[in-house]
């Protein structure tokens, strides 16, 4: 049951009060009792309509915060400390940023990875506070801050252990994000076949999976665009382009530049390669795996 103190109540019809809790409508009767459900007549009131619109806006805002912070992390962009201070009081921005691995960035845009830590607080006077690898709180007042992609974090294993010891979790998938590096053989190639041959009973199933994972499909390829070193590269993983109800098999993973030319793996940035493989492996993992017909003795 929602406690009244957790809700900002608004006056409704028939002396009822109505509010939002967890993005859902809640109400209490004239005696102050919070009800298990909202009566239909109250759901259809103008106040309820306004609250639903507010809940939708808040949900969109929350998602926008998550997407924006993830974009900063994927591109390892330096974010001005002034911006961090402005957005930190917003609970949605804060939940997206809190506990991310960050590094101070100087006026020339150079990050100091020796001072990397888990972001815990932001204050106007003291700057931003992090928990370092020794478990100590350190405050930095650098002009900017960076949320590096995990493949760029040298002490990733140690930071994972620190977060685990402190029972710290992240809203953005950074610390435990899968990271991938090319093998010596792959660096000489322009495509990767490791995730080819994954069977889906229907192309529809593969397309639906791509949508859930957030990868647009164009021309039969699941796509993932990565900006790195001022260069845009698109990872493309073939999932099929036949009839939606037909069986399909996954194909190659390739990386193309703005001119639609395949890029050699050796010429890709570390983040670009890692994110492309992350996309392909996530889709391939959901393929249909045939059960062995052999019976164990």
pLDDT in tens, 172-226: 999 999 999 999 999 999 999 999 999 999 999 999 999 999 999 999 999 999 9
Q: Cβ contacts of residue 180 below 8 Å, gap of 6+?
A: 151, 273, 274, 277, 278, 281
* Alpha-carbon gap, residue 171 to 10, rounded angstroms: 31
Domains with residue ranges and CATH for the chain:
4-62 (2.40.10), 76-165 (2.30.30), 186-284 (3.30.310.100)
pLDDT in tens, 37-51: 899 988 888 888 888
Query: Looking at residue 42, what is its pLDDT?
Result: 87
pLDDT in tens, 18-36: 998 888 899 999 988 988 8
Q: What is the mean pLDDT of residues 143-171?
A: 94
**Which one has a higher pLDDT value, 255 or 6?**
255
Q: Which of 41, 99, 34, 107 is nearest to 73 (CA)?
A: 99
Of the pLDDT bands very low, low, confident and very high (cuts 50, 70, 90), residue 291 is low
Query: Looking at residue 44, what is its pLDDT?
Result: 86
């Amino acid at each position: 049951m929602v406690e009244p103190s957790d809700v900002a109540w608004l006056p409704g019809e028939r002396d009822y009060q109505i509010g939002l809790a967890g993005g859902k409508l809640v109400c209490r009767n004239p005696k102050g009792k919070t009800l298990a459900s909202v009566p239909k007549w109250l759901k259809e009131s103008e106040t309820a309509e306004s609250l639903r619109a507010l809940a939708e806006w808040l949900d969109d805002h929350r998602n926008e915060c998550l997407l924006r912070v993830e974009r900063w992390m994927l591109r390892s962009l330096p974010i001005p400390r002034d911006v961090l201070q402005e957005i930190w009081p917003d609970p949605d921005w804060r939940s997206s940023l809190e506990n991310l691995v960050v590094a101070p960035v100087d006026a020339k845009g150079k990050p100091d990875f020796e001072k990397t830590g888990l972001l815990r607080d932001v204050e106007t006077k003291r700057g931003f506070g992090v928990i370092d690898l020794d478990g100590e709180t350190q405050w930095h007042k650098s002009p900017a801050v960076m949320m590096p992609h995990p493949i760029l974090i040298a002490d990733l294993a140690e930071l994972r252990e620190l977060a685990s010891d402190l029972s710290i979790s992240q809203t953005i998938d950074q610390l435990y994000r899968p990271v991938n590096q090319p093998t010596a053989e792959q660096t000489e190639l322009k495509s990767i076949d490791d995730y080819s041959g994954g069977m889906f009973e229907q192309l529809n199933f593969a397309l639906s999976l791509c949508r859930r994972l957030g990868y647009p499909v164009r021309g039969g390829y699941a796509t993932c665009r990565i900006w790195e070193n001022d260069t845009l590269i698109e990872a493309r993983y073939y999932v099929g382009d036949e009839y939606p109800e037909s069986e399909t098999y996954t194909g190659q993973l390739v990386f193309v530049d703005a001119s639609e030319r395949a890029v050699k793996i050796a010429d890709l940035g570390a983040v670009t390669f890692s994110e492309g493989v992350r996309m392909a492996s996530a889709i391939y993992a959901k393929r249909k795996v045939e059960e062995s017909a052999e019976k164990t003795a």
